[in-house]
Amino acid sequence: MTFKRMIHAVETHSGEPMRVITGGVPNIPGVSVHEQMKWLEANDDQLRRLMLREPRGYPPLCCNLIVPPKHPDAAAGYIIMEQVEYPVMSGGNTIAVATVLLETGMIPMQEPVTEFKLEAPAGLIGIRAECRDGKVRQVTFENVPAFAAHLDAVIDVPELGRVTVDVGWGGMFYVIADVRQFKGLRLTPSHGREITRVSSLILRAAQEQLPVEHPEYPGIGITISQLSGPTDNPATDRKNAVTVASGPVDFADPATWTGSIDRCPCGTGTCARMATLHAKGELRLGERFRHEGILGTVYTGELIKETKVGPYKAVVPTISGEAWISGYSTYVLDPDDPFTEGFTVGDLWA
């Protein structure tokens, strides 16, 4: 049978489901992975939609495309695709990609530690993978510099009133609010629906009221929201719930006040949180920061040095975590399938 597309992928999760495409995508033009990402967005966004929307995808799913590296120091490149954007960096997806490359043999595994560099759209990412018995037990990566763009800003949010937030860059711009501002709301799976409602409203208000710009990535604004709070786990420092949008938020349409909670502790979100805490004097260089996700899994971060990004005082973070392979898949597009970019339905999607 002849298919329009045949795509091979490895399914992984770190709580959050993260698909890694290993074959079936033709050569993508560009002299860097960032250029390849921009080309894909402009010329073949069908791939992202096909992989992430139904029937092959679902709202919390992320996807990564392995590409040959353009930088001479990188062992592989990867393009990150999410429901509403192409992030230049993602922590959980980086851990998943490194795990797939090593456990499938695409990059030779050296025990007890394998070190290499990956080329993300944001640039070179250093990887240190702890390996034992043919398995990746932990991945630590050195992220791009993170910084605080707004601290203790007060925004007016319909339905919620005045909310105090921080805005931090950790590879994406996050608006971060302390969950204790919302009476009765807890960072637990059973409160998921209310977490996404509150988070989506905060996201839209921050997008309108808090201008941001990354000196190296003009045009990227706040695209993701994080509720932060205390944890009951004595082995961790804080807990978070990041809500990933599945469509644009419209204050006039309550059906859009939703999204999908990141099921992992969120790597770039942890970096953004560490950057804002450091800017407030609440987290020192070299101090371990254990960040718990909504499922109880933990990423451990550390700020290793200070730097600058344009006018911003910034910090270089590392994140350690684990991902697990959950399956191997081949996806096809039937020539007669009328849904060539997948579909969404309002019972699950914004």
Give the pLDDT band of residue 282 (cuts 50, 70, 90). Answer: very high
Examine residue 345 and state whether it is found in any structural domain, yes or no: no
Examine residue 350 and state whether it is found in any structural domain, yes or no: no
Examine residue 262 and state whether it is found in any structural domain, yes or no: yes
If asked whether residues 166 and 131 sit together in one domain, one would say: no
If asked whether residues 158 and 88 sit together in one domain, one would say: no
If asked whether residues 190 and 56 sit together in one domain, one would say: no
69 in helix, strand or coil? Answer: coil
Q: In this structure, are residues 301 and 291 in contact, taking their beta carbons and an 8 Å threshold?
A: yes
If asked whether residues 156 and 117 sit together in one domain, one would say: no
If asked whether residues 171 and 234 sit together in one domain, one would say: yes
Q: Which domain holds residue 104?
A: 5-143+324-333
If asked whether residues 28 and 129 sit together in one domain, one would say: yes
Q: In this structure, are residues 294 and 261 in contact, taking their beta carbons and an 8 Å threshold?
A: yes
pLDDT, residue 79, reads 98
Concatenated DSSP letters for 255-301? GGS--EE-SS--HHHHHHHHHHHHHTTSS-TT--EEEE-TTS-EEEE
The rounded distance, in Å, linking the Cα atoms of 195 and 48 is 26
Average pLDDT, stretch 38-55? 97
Look-up: residue for tokens 């489901």?
Answer: 17
pLDDT, residue 235, reads 96
pLDDT, residue 260, reads 96
The rounded distance, in Å, linking the Cα atoms of 122 and 87 is 9
Examine residue 347 and state whether it is found in any structural domain, yes or no: no
If asked whether residues 240 and 204 sit together in one domain, one would say: yes
Examine residue 36 and state whether it is found in any structural domain, yes or no: yes
Give the pLDDT band of residue 230 (cuts 50, 70, 90). Answer: very high
Q: Look up the CATH number of the domain holding residue 256.
A: 3.10.310.10
pLDDT tops 80 at residue 83: yes
pLDDT, residue 350, reads 84
Partners of 307 in the beta sheet?
314
Give the pLDDT band of residue 34 (cuts 50, 70, 90). Answer: very high
If asked whether residues 139 and 150 sit together in one domain, one would say: no
End-to-end CA distance of the chain: 35
197 in helix, strand or coil? Answer: helix
pLDDT tops 80 at residue 266: yes
Average pLDDT, stretch 162-179? 98
Q: State the total domains in the chain.
A: 2
The radius of gyration computed from the CA coordinates of the chain, to the nearest angstrom, equals 19
Give the pLDDT band of residue 105 (cuts 50, 70, 90). Answer: very high
pLDDT, residue 305, reads 97
If asked whether residues 101 and 201 sit together in one domain, one would say: no
Examine residue 342 and state whether it is found in any structural domain, yes or no: no
Q: 179: which 2 tokens?
A: 């969950």
pLDDT tops 80 at residue 318: yes
If asked whether residues 80 and 170 sit together in one domain, one would say: no
Question: Would you please indicate which residues are annotated as catalytic (active-site) residues?
Answer: 90
Average pLDDT, stretch 69-98? 97
Examine residue 37 and state whether it is found in any structural domain, yes or no: yes
Average pLDDT, stretch 220-248? 95
pLDDT, residue 189, reads 97
- Predicted TM-score of the model (pTM): 0.96
If asked whether residues 100 and 193 sit together in one domain, one would say: no
Burial of 305 by CB count in 10 Å (0-12 exposed, 13-18 middle, 19+ buried)? Answer: exposed
Q: How many residues in the chain?
A: 350
Average pLDDT, the chain: 97
Examine residue 192 and state whether it is found in any structural domain, yes or no: yes
pLDDT, residue 2, reads 87
Average pLDDT, stretch 267-275? 98
Average pLDDT, stretch 264-293? 98
pLDDT, residue 297, reads 96
Give the pLDDT band of residue 125 (cuts 50, 70, 90). Answer: very high
If asked whether residues 252 and 280 sit together in one domain, one would say: yes
